[in-house]
């Protein structure tokens, strides 16, 4: 199993400096990870670092709370693509989902997908804050809005990915959407188990230790 090809090598820390992002890019190239995942302010910088490589560039939108104004999220996604991002990892509006405003949540995902066109959209549902019914509803929103992935977590919530959540998400999206497990994935055994469950991508800042 080529674990490196499943990994989004990630640095989303609020303290990440331009130097940290350059280091992330050079590590991704050295270990041939699938992608890097970074905050939107560093997309231009990372694009320059990666442009001669095959590494994909994923940027987060509405991160990490998901509570930004809808138009602001759409604009951020558009800016990321304009600056060279290949993929967008967006956080849903968690509070609106919990309030039962399903149409609003779905519409926001659909607007961002429309804004980025053929680029990949991953929808972070932040499972740690959701009931089972809400997790199902969030996955159904991503399905109807024609996203490409559902993603477990930001890594900034009260907990990250779990095997139970991935199993539940898989039961909803089946083969129609891919799944990204993210948050708390730090060792090879855990990474391999997620992949065997059908996870297509792993978001982790521990990619180097996982593959070594």
Q: In this predicted model, what pLDDT tens digit does every residue of 126-136 receive, in sequence order? A: 999 999 999 99
In the chain, where are the structural domains located? 3-211
Determine the average pLDDT of the residues in 114-127: 98
Q: How confident is the model at residue 35 (pLDDT cuts 50, 70, 90)?
A: very high
DSSP 119-182: SEEEEE--GGG--HHHHHHHHHHHHHTT-SEEE---SSSS----HHHHHHHHHHHTTTSEEEEE
**Is 89 an active-site residue?**
yes
Residue 208: pLDDT over 90: yes
pLDDT of residue 1: 83
CATH of domain 3-211: 3.20.20.70
Report how far residue 105's alpha carbon sits from residue 200's, in angstroms, rounded to the nearest whole number: 24
pLDDT of residue 99: 98
User: Strand 120-124 vs strand 149-151: parallel, antiparallel, or unpaired?
Assistant: parallel
Q: How confident is the model at residue 120 (pLDDT cuts 50, 70, 90)?
A: very high
The helix or strand, by DSSP H or E, that contains position 89, with its residue range, turns out to be strand 87-91
Q: Is the peptide bond before 193 cis (omega within 30 degrees of 0)?
A: no
Which entry of 8, 56, 151, 165 is annotated as an active-site residue? 151
Of 175, 96, 114, 167, the closest CA to residue 143 belongs to: 175
Determine the average pLDDT of the residues in 93-120: 98
Report how far residue 180's alpha carbon sits from residue 7's, in angstroms, rounded to the nearest whole number: 9
- Percentage above 90 pLDDT, the chain: 100
Which entry of 89, 113, 135, 165 is annotated as an active-site residue? 89
pLDDT of residue 98: 98
Per-chain mean pLDDT for the chain: 98
Determine the average pLDDT of the residues in 18-25: 98
pLDDT of residue 194: 98
**Is 23 an active-site residue?**
no
Residue 170: pLDDT over 90: yes
**Is 151 an active-site residue?**
yes
- Percentage above 70 pLDDT, the chain: 100
Determine the average pLDDT of the residues in 40-44: 98
Q: Is 198 helix (H, G, I), strand (E, B) or coil?
A: coil
């Amino acid at each position: 199993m080529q674990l490196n090809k499943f990994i989004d090598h990630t640095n989303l820390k609020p303290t990440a400096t331009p130097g940290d992002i350059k280091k992330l890019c050079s590590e991704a190239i050295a270990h041939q990870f699938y992608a890097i995942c970074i905050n939107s302010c560093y997309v231009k910088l990372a694009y320059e670092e990666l442009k001669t490589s095959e590494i994909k560039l994923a940027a987060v939108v509405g991160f990490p709370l998901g509570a930004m104004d809808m138009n602001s999220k759409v604009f951020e996604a558009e800016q990321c693509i304009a600056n060279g991002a290949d993929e967008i990892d967006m956080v849903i509006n968690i509070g609106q989902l919990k309030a039962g405003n399903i149409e609003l949540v779905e519409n926001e995902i659909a607007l961002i997908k429309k804004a980025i066109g053929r680029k990949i959209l991953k929808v972070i549902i932040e499972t740690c804050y959701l009931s089972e019914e809400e997790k199902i509803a969030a996955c159904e929103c991503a399905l109807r809005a024609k996203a490409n992935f559902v993603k477990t977590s930001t890594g900034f919530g009260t907990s990250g990915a779990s095997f139970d959540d991935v199993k539940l998400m898989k039961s909803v999206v089946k083969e129609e959407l891919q799944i990204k497990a993210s948050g708390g994935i730090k060792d090879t055994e855990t990474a391999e188990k997620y992949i065997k469950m059908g996870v297509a991508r792993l978001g982790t800042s521990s990619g180097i230790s996982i593959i070594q």
